[in-house]
Amino acid sequence: MKYYYARVSTAKQNLARQIELFKELGGNKRTIFEEKRSGANFEDREAWDELMDCVRSNDIIVVKNLDRLGRNAKEVRECLVKLADKKVIVESIDQEYLNEFLKTKLIDKTADSLAEAMLNAMLDTMLEVDLLRAEWERKELRRRQQEGIERAKARGQHLGRNKEEKYREKFKEIYPLTRNKDNPEYISVTKACKEIGCSRPMFYKMEKEVEFEKINI
């Protein structure tokens, strides 16, 4: 059985992007578990506890990023090891290159104490590098957004709803329909542009923004 775990750190953050992605991968209300928990109360994860009651040996848990499993690399590794002891496989969308490693080295391993120590050191290093990169990208995105707001204020620009924001609202509704040609409701980019009322360059600009946001959830 394949399950999906979506988590954000605060109640103000939006789970919609993670859930939309999981639905595209085949998730549904029964298999998608949603959580809004900060670092301060990370142990009190009701959805995660419910998921743990559901999973069995050889089940798969899909997450957007491994940092959804813990507050730091140590917690993420401990969580992965506990799940491996239950023969539960974890797959990360953002760190797809780690999925085979996690399965073969954690789930299928037959290691002595030295091999276990080497495995832990290797996993810690890989997680530290990847999680630090993800955190840096999130901070860099916030910094650029804040700089843009400050520059706009300095020019005396009003930061309320404008034409591009209206485009983006329509884009969020229509963009998913352009992703899968097998979808009965599929529409082409040309038709999507007409529906939104924007140019193709503007469409692709908004597409890049959406995809960039997905990898920094």
Describe the strand order of the beta sheet including 32-36 as a list of residue ranges. Answer: 32-36, 2-8, 60-63, 89-92
CB-based contact 18:94 (threshold 8 Å): no
Quote the domain boundaries for residue 212: 160-217
Query: Positive or negative CA dihedral for 21, 217, 79, 39?
Result: negative
Q: Is residue 129 part of a domain?
A: no
Considering the candidates 9, 57, 113, 199, report the single residue annotated as catalytic.
9
Which of 88, 109, 130 corresponds to the end of one domain? 109
Tens digit of each residue's pLDDT, the chain (217 residues): 999 999 887 666 778 889 999 999 999 999 999 988 655 555 678 899 999 999 999 999 999 988 888 877 778 888 888 898 888 999 999 888 778 877 776 666 544 555 555 556 666 676 666 666 666 666 777 777 777 777 766 666 555 556 677 888 888 889 889 888 888 888 999 999 998 888 888 888 888 888 776 655 5
Do 102 and 173 belong to one domain? no
Whether 9 is a known active-site residue: answer yes
How many domains does the chain contain in total?
2
User: Do you know the residue count of the chain?
Assistant: 217
How many CB atoms lie under 10 A from the CB of residue 22?
A: 25
What's the pLDDT score for residue 1?
A: 94
CATH of the domain at 86: 3.40.50.1390
Q: Is residue 43 part of a domain?
A: yes
What's the pLDDT score for residue 97?
A: 77
Residue type at 99 in one-letter notation:
N
Which of 109, 134, 149 corresponds to the end of one domain? 109
Residues 6+ apart with CB under 8 A from 200: 189, 190, 193
What's the pLDDT score for residue 63?
A: 94
Q: Is residue 127 part of a domain?
A: no
Residue 2's Cβ-side half-sphere holds a number of Cα atoms within 13 Å equal to 10
* E strands, 45-123, in order: 60-63, 89-92
